[in-house]
């Protein structure tokens, strides 16, 4: 990663750090959001722009990645979201991924690039594109262009309509194409918008839902949850179920509660630098801190990936996470085993002892009651960015202390070796 100027990965919700609208634009910094349907296609275009293998075509499709570089005299920051234009993406995933893009392009993107193919552009694709773009801002089209990576055999009317909405800005990437030509189109968009970036106020706000909860905590207190684990599909499934069921509840004995839900990507799939950026971003997005971490584990023998992910979570967040974590044991059916396996029981004990079974017909209300009980036990406490940084600082201090001890031992052994060597050189007459 030494060849990359900067890199960040986020999977989950994000809140843009607010900056003054009157701040003069940085004309040397160009932030580009790359939206597509294919990891390999997006990686190809991102690498073409930066002129190097900056994006990995084997990267997980649900990871939004930011990579920096230079093109001519411009510093570029490319935010790559390789699956957001897939038609199967849920509204929940769109909302979260758009917020990731906004967060990583802070204070906002200058250009949004749509990677579209002539042979893969249907009415359903058009509907998806419009939904995604309007999630950024109502003014998004004046910052957007279309890029295609193939010459059309025949005109695609739907693609042409999308291009027209983007003020007819279209770039066809061919073998003879130059990154400089594409940069000029970026510059034209920036110039047309007087050097200003897209304001994404709505997308930058926390994703909140109306949650009906017990009245045990004060009304209006926002609940910050982080869903973590090695299986991305399980995490998304749990997140959507929580949001859907809490949004639908209407028990008059309960009152409204704002909830912020963040999904943490599998840390074992990220580099050390990306792990640190991601975990810090995750916690910082839960202002003032994370109330509950929901760690997803299957009701089956744990895989090596499951175990490695838990080790990484414990390593990064330290044992201080234990009072804020609950193990969610996923079940394929409502059949609940009489006893937990020794392995699963060990995991639960290691992370503080709290667990909850989560199956297809599980009522989220029971989970929320357990979470409320956790909040009461913790007296409303949370895991903040300060807590995370303190944990990291403690590890660094322990590492420095260990280095000092090793150095002291090496010095001692070296001095002993020199004494023995000098003794061996003494001559007795």
What tens digit of pLDDT does each residue of 400-424 get?
677 677 767 777 677 766 666 555 5
Residue 144 domain-assigned (yes or no): yes
Sign of CA dihedral 98, 8, 259, 358: positive
146 has a pLDDT exceeding 60: yes
Residue 379: inside a domain, yes or no? yes
Does residue 239 belong to any structural domain of this protein?
yes
Q: Note the pLDDT of residue 333.
A: 62
Instruction: Please tell me whether residues 41 and 183 are part of one structural domain.
Output: yes
194 and 255 in a common domain: no
- Pair 255, 378 in one domain: yes
**pLDDT computed for residue 53 by the predictor:** 79
Same domain, 257 and 342: yes
Residue 400 or 291, more confident: 291
Cα–Cα distance for residue pair 83/87, rounded to 1 Å:
9
Q: What percent of the chain has pLDDT over 70?
A: 76
**Per-residue pLDDT, 255:** 36
User: Do 331 and 192 lie in a common domain?
Assistant: no
**Looking at the structure, do residues 57 and 156 belong to the same domain, yes or no?**
yes
Q: Which of 28-37, 181-190, 358-367 has the lowest mean pLDDT?
A: 358-367
Q: At 341, phi and psi to the nearest 5?
A: -65, 155
pLDDT at residue number 251: 31
201 phi, psi to nearest 5 deg: -60, -45
More confident residue, 429 or 281: 281
Closest CA to 169 of 157, 160, 178: 160
Distance of CA 189 to the CA centre of its chain: 28
| CATH number for position 334 | 3.40.50.300
Task: State which residues form the domain around 42.
Answer: 7-203
Asked which of 156, 174, 203 is the last residue of a domain, the reply is: 203
Same domain flag for 139 and 235: no
pLDDT at 250: 31
Res 340: pLDDT: 73
- On whether residue 250 sits in a domain, the answer given is yes
* 217 and 105 both lie in a single domain: no
Cα distance between residue 415 and residue 402, in whole Å: 20
Does residue 243 form part of some domain? yes
Is residue 404, in this structure, part of any structural domain at all?
no
| Lowest mean per-residue pLDDT among 7-16, 242-251, 285-294, 374-383 | 7-16
Domain stop point among 183, 203, 223: 203
pLDDT, tens only, 75-103 = 888 998 888 898 888 888 888 888 888 88
Respond yes or no on whether the N-terminal peptide bond of residue 288 is cis (omega within 30° of 0).
yes
- The count of domains in the chain is 2
Residue at 35 is within a domain: yes
- Which is it for the CA torsion 26, 27, 28, 34, positive or negative? positive
Q: Is 158 exposed, middle or buried (0-12, 13-18, 19+ CB in 10 A)?
A: middle
Residue 391: which residues within 8 A CB-CB, separation 6 or more? 316, 317, 318, 320
14 and 160 together in one domain: yes
Where is pLDDT greater, at 175 or 234?
234
pLDDT bucket at 202, cuts 50 / 70 / 90: low
**261 DSSP β-pair partners:** 225
The neighbouring-strand residues paired with 15 are none
Q: What is the pLDDT of residue 19?
A: 34
State whether 299 and 247 are in the same domain.
yes
Tell me the torsion sign for CA atoms 396, 402, 406, 408.
Answer: positive
Task: Give residue 412's pLDDT.
Answer: 65
Are both 53 and 137 inside the same structural domain? yes
Choose one of 171, 203, 235: the last residue of a domain.
203
Section 66-70 average pLDDT? 78
Residue 271 lies in a domain: yes
Helix or strand or coil: residue 2? coil
Question: Which of 114-118, 376-380, 419-423 has the largest mean confidence?
Answer: 114-118
Q: What is the DSSP string of 3-57?
A: T-S-EEEE-S---PPP--TTSPP-TTEEEEEEE-S-HHHHHHHHHHHHTS--S-T
Tell whether 44 and 94 lie within a shared domain.
Answer: yes
pLDDT for res 411:
75
pLDDT attached to residue 102: 86
User: What pLDDT sits at residue 409?
Assistant: 75
How many angstroms separate the CA atoms of 315 and 415, rounded?
A: 36
* Averaged pLDDT score across all residues of the chain: 77
């Amino acid at each position: 990663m030494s060849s990359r100027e900067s890199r960040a990965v986020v999977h989950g919700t994000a809140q843009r750090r607010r900056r003054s609208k009157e701040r003069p634009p940085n004309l040397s910094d160009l932030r580009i959001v790359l939206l597509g349907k294919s990891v390999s296609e997006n990686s190809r275009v991102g690498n073409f722009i930066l002129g190097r293998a900056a994006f990995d075509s084997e990267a997980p499709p649900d990871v939004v990645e930011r990579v920096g570089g230079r093109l001519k005299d411009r510093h570029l920051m490319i935010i790559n979201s390789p699956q957001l234009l897939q038609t199967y993406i849920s509204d929940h995933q769109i909302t979260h991924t758009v917020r990731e893009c906004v967060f990583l392009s802070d204070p906002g993107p200058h250009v949004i690039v749509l990677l579209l193919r002539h042979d893969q552009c249907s009415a359903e694709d058009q509907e998806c594109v419009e939904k995604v773009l309007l999630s950024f801002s109502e003014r998004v089209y004046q910052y957007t262009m279309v890029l295609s990576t193939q010459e059309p055999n025949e005109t695609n009317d739907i693609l042409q309509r999308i291009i027209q909405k983007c003020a007819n800005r279209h770039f066809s990437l061919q073998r003879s194409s130059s990154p400089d030509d594409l940069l000029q189109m970026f510059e034209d968009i920036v110039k047309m918008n007087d050097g200003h970036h897209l304001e994404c106020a709505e997308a930058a706000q926390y994703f909140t839902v109306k949650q009906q909860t017990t009245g045990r905590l004060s009304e209006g207190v926002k609940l910050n949850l982080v869903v973590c684990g090695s299986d991305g599909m399980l995490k998304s499934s749990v997140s959507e179920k929580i949001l859907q069921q809490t949004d639908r509840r209407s028990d008059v004995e309960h009152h409204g509660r704002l909830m912020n839900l963040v999904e943490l990507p599998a840390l074992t799939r990220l580099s050390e630098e990306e792990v640190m950026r991601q975990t810090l971003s995750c916690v910082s997005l839960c202002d003032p801190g994370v109330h509950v971490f929901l760690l997803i584990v299957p009701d089956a023998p744990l895989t090596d990936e499951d175990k490695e992910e838990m080790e990484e979570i414990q390593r990064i967040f330290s044992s201080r996470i234990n009072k804020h974590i609950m193990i969610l044991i996923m079940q394929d059916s409502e059949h609940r085993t009489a006893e937990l396996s020794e392995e699963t029981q060990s995991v639960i004990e290691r992370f503080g002892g709290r667990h909850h079974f989560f199956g297809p017909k599980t009522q989220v209300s029971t989970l929320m009651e357990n979470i409320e009980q956790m909040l009461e036990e913790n007296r409303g406490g949370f895991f903040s960015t300060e807590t995370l940084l303190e944990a990291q600082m403690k590890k660094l201090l322990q590492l420095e202390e260990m280095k000092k001890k090793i150095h002291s031992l090496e010095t001692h052994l070296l001095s002993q070796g020199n004494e023995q060597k000098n003794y061996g050189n003494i001559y007795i007459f």
